[in-house]
Amino acid sequence: MTHAHHAERLPRGALILAGSLVGFAFLLTATVRIAHIPPAGSPAALRETTHVAAVQTRTLRFLDAADRGVRIEDVGTGQTAGTIVPGQETGFIRGVMRGLARERRMHGIGSDAPFTLTQWRDGELTLTDSATGRSIELNAFGTTNRAAFAALLRAPEFPR
């Protein structure tokens, strides 16, 4: 029994294209470094530089409910600003809060510290964790996901 081994070869054109892409990336990086082009600033830094003011803020606490839901409390008034019931289409809020809670646990921080939801004059919306200082730019996740948090700014307060 003889086995014929044929070396599989990549087409020459594909290798040239891949090499060109790597070379272009290297050239672009070198140009930025040599020309001392500053990196793009974070939205928070740009707001500070251009003095963009907050239009509306709300300080919120996210509390786990016995039914596996979440009660969203306005810290200033102690009133309920919203609720997320199990199965409700609010996976984005749950996902963001789960990630922030995980970060708090890693730092040994409890869940008592509130979060600040801020609408800026430039249309941006941020959620800031007062315990860790981490800020999430919610516009980056698309209009539908942003709207889930924006609704908490407009949500009327109602008794618990």
CA angle 115/121/124 to nearest 5° reads: 55
d(CA 26, CA 36): 15
Averaged pLDDT for residues 62-77: 86
Cβ distance 70 to 83 under 8 Å? Answer: yes
For residue 80, pLDDT over 90 is answered with: no
pLDDT of 160:
43
Contacts 24+ apart (CB under 8 A), 113-116: 114/59, 114/60, 114/61, 114/75, 115/59, 115/60, 115/61, 115/62, 116/57, 116/58, 116/59, 116/60
pLDDT of 57:
92
Q: Which residue has the tokens 């306005």?
A: 74
Q: Which residue has the higher pLDDT, 66 or 124?
A: 124
d(CA 152, CA 60): 9
d(CA 40, CA 32): 12
Q: What is the pLDDT of residues 28-42, one digit of tens each?
A: 888 888 888 776 667
Averaged pLDDT for residues 5-25: 85
For residue 4, pLDDT over 70 is answered with: no
Q: Is the pTM of this model over 0.85?
A: no
